[in-house]
Structure 1
Amino acid sequence: MTPAPQLSARVLCIEDELTLLADLQEELCAAGYDVRVASSVAQALIVLDDFTPDLVLCDVMLGADDQPDGYALHQHIRQQRPDLAATPFILLTALGQRSDLLQAKRLGIDDYLVKPVDYDLLLATIAARLASVGRVRDSQAFSRTELLGRMRDVFAQLPGAVLLCDGDGNLLHANHQAQALMQEHGLWRVDAKGRLEWPYALPAALQTLKQNIAELSQCATGVRRVQTLEMRRATDAVLLGLLKLDGAEHAVAAQQLFALFVCSAQSRPVPEVEALRLLFGLTRSEARVARLMAQGIRSEAVAEALGVSVATVNFHLRNLFQKTGVTRQSELVAQILAAGWTLPEMAGDCR
């Protein structure tokens, strides 16, 4: 008995014999599939621009000998369309020799049907292939759900804010500290499509974040990046630690999983003076200046709080740049905030 087709499963059918192509389309549509057709590789590539098939059925020979054949289309899909990596590719051909079958298998063709078309066998093969892919996808979805559950438990124990998202920026989870940043400070938000947004970040910083995530998508699991997410006010800068948690290299964005560790004055208390002094090798005066600036206090107010001139504050600021290895105030603030993840609070004040 032929398995029932998946609900509205999408099939791309490529055949240069137009009468046979029409018959294939009619049979597949009658079986409940959503079918798109093409008579050449060039036409198939156009169809693929706005149609993502669940299965591809393709003739081997398509037109003249100098035209791309079914093997060429298969190679293009496997190399250029990672989103179709698991999509079954079935060849339909008049070449029924054992050597032809072996060649197809060696090249990674999923199934090989010989003309004249046995439609019962064709429909059974398509249904079986789609069912097999469905089981794999269900298993992968279960594994991803398990992983997300474990990550939620881990991040709930961390002292700082953590966001989980996929490669498209869709928010999957925010721990308690991250939710507080949204509810109390509006540092981030989710748009109508469920994508993570940083409403106060500078455009250049957002572009860097997008680029970093795209590059991490091509890396192995466990690779990390750190970047400063600069805000409209330099003192509001956020340090983001990006960690790839899941997703094969070159997998589509929706299959990637990232953790974003958020360091800001709101997500973690600014380290005490003594902690900053020990971590960065600062003088006590430099540590006081650094701590006040990380709290969003301007140079003039820092000078007043410490009872020194603005020139003295600027002198300490230059020393801070040199000792922390940064060149901008926003980067300095982010460095200081990041220390809040690693150092315990120590005795000391900012006065």
Structure 2
Amino acid sequence: MPQTILCVEDEVDLRGDIVEELEAAGYAVLEAGNGEDALALLAKAKPDLILCDITMPGMSGFEILPRLRKAQPDYEEVPFIYLTALAGRSDMVQGRKLGADDYLVKPIDYDLLLATIRTRLDRVGRLRQSFNASFESQRRSIVETALSDAKLALNGVASALDKVGRGIVVFDRRGLVSLINDTARAIAAEGDAVILANGQLRGIQQAGAKALALALDEALGLEGQVSLVLAERDFRHPLAIQIYGIPMPESGDGPAAIAFLIDPEQRPPVSAEIIRRMYGLTVTEARVGVALASGRRLEEVADDMAIAQTTVAYHLRNIFRKTNTARQADLIMLLMQSSLYVAAP
């Protein structure tokens, strides 16, 4: 599936040229001629990168970025590049302060534009690979911990799994749900990808329902059997369901499969205590990190903590240094990854 880029540009001819270049380079392109149309479109679809003009009638590009990230914090990881004829240093500084990742000056150098896009998307891709590797490692740890003590009471397992910040569902040999944690229950309650019905986890859309049922049947009781199902959702990224077979004892009792429900749009809770101990942060720095990871802007963090924005910026610089990061988006990704599976107290 090609990566998608949103181009927000009020000049029709220029927007057409940009779209043509992007499509020729293999990208899917969404178009908006003004800020209002862009925000309306972004409420329905999430592109992989955003190109945005600054000077437009109505809402300017400088207004779009903060409004977008305030309304939809999960857009923090989407690269945002300004396209503008404003080449002054103050304009560039303002764009950077708002959180823009790059700043390209008109007339557009299309080779530079494509190279910049590729660099930004590759960086996001590397971060996601690291994120997924951490998920796999911690998934294995969760399974080993949950199943290592056969004498562990069933309600004890359920209580432990409720502390996990990812959806987990355990199935018995009949394919019925024997355990489900709070996160998975909340995902099912949304009713747009999967539901719980008559003790079963079922897909909403027909294709996803069939794929889920087949994957579960194949996994039950078979050690090493791994299946991935993508449950489609309207106007949202699919819900990923990873199903792993568990060898059953001769008695046939006990868990036969375990599924992990991965919502790419869900921002996992971050534990202040975990990130404080992992990165040597002070208590205040950890509070700032948690607030940023939850989608709060710097000025909102300052208001919440009753401190000056300059003090928040000072703490943020210390956090960057201690975590070896340079961009707020990279920091947030790292913090979410650091406590990905433990619900924040």
Match for 1:31: what amino acid? A
Looking at structure 2, the residues matched to 120 and 148 of structure 1 have their Cα atoms a distance apart, in angstroms, of: 42
Q: Which residue of 1 aligns with 2:105?
A: 114
Partner of 2:206: none
Q: Tell me, what secondary structure is at the counterpart of 1:85?
A: helix
Contact 2:7 2:19 in 1 (8 A): yes
Distance across 2 between alignment mates of 1:141 and 1:108: 25
Is there any run of 5+ residues in structure 2 with no aligned partner, and where?
201-265, 274-292, 296-331
Change (3 A) 1:196 1:168: farther
Give the distance between the partners of 1:168 and 1:105, measured in 2 at CA.
32
Tell me how many residue pairs correspond in the alignment. Answer: 205
Does residue 16 (structure 1) correspond to residue 10 (structure 2)? The answer is: yes
* CA drift at 1:249: 3.4
Q: 1:249 aligns with which of 276, 294, 297?
A: 294
User: Identity percentage over the alignment?
Assistant: 35
- The answer for unaligned runs of 5 or more in structure 1 is 1-6, 202-215, 224-247, 260-351
1:70 and 1:134 mapped to 2: Cα distance? Answer: 25
Map 1:52-201 → 2, pairs under 5 A: 52-63=46-57, 67-158=58-149, 159-161=152-154, 162=157, 170-171=167-168, 174=170, 179-180=171-172, 183=174, 187=178, 195=194, 197=196, 199=198
Structure 1 29/195 Cα, relative in aligned 2: closer, same or farther at 3 Å? same
Deviation at 1:32, TM superposition (A): 0.6
Q: Secondary structure at the match of 1:83?
A: helix
Shift of 1:152: 1.2
- The alpha carbon displacement at 1:100 in A equals 1.7
Deviations along 1:120-178, whole A, 9 cap, x unmatched? Answer: 1101101110001100011011111111111111111340333659999854x53xxxx
CA contact (8 A) 2:95 2:103 kept: yes
TM-score under structure 2 normalisation?
0.51
> How far apart, in 2, do the equivalents of 1:50 and 1:17 lie?
23
Find the partner of 1:221 among 271, 281, 300.
271
Q: Which runs of 4+ in 1 moved over 6 A?
A: 165-169, 189-194
- Report if aligned partners of 2:10, 2:56 keep a CA contact under 8 Å in 1: yes
Given that 2:35 and 2:61 are in contact with CA atoms closer than 8 Å, whether structure 1 keeps it comes out as: yes
SS of residue matched to 2:133: helix
Q: Who is 1:308 aligned against?
A: none
Is the CA contact 1:56–1:89 (under 8 Å) kept in the aligned structure 2? Answer: yes
What amino acid does structure 1 have at the position aligned with 2:196?
E
Q: What letter matches 1:221 in structure 2?
A: S
Cα distance, 1:218–1:51 mapped onto 2, change above 3 Å: closer
State the AA in 1 paired with 2:137. E
Deviation at 1:195, TM superposition (A): 4.4
Cα distance, 1:77 vs structure 2: 2.0
Q: Distance in 2 between matches of 1:82 and 1:62?
A: 24
1:23 deviates by 0.8
Q: Which amino acid aligns with 1:70?
A: G
CA distance in 1, matches of 2:164, 2:96: 33
What CA distance in whole angstroms lies between the structure 2 residues aligned with 1:150 and 1:127? 35
Partner of 1:340: none
3-state SS of the aligned residue for 1:91? strand
* Structure-2 change in CA distance of 1:145 and 1:22 (3 Å): same
Secondary structure of 2:77's partner?
coil
Which one has the largest radius of gyration?
Answer: 1
What's 2:27 paired with? Answer: 33
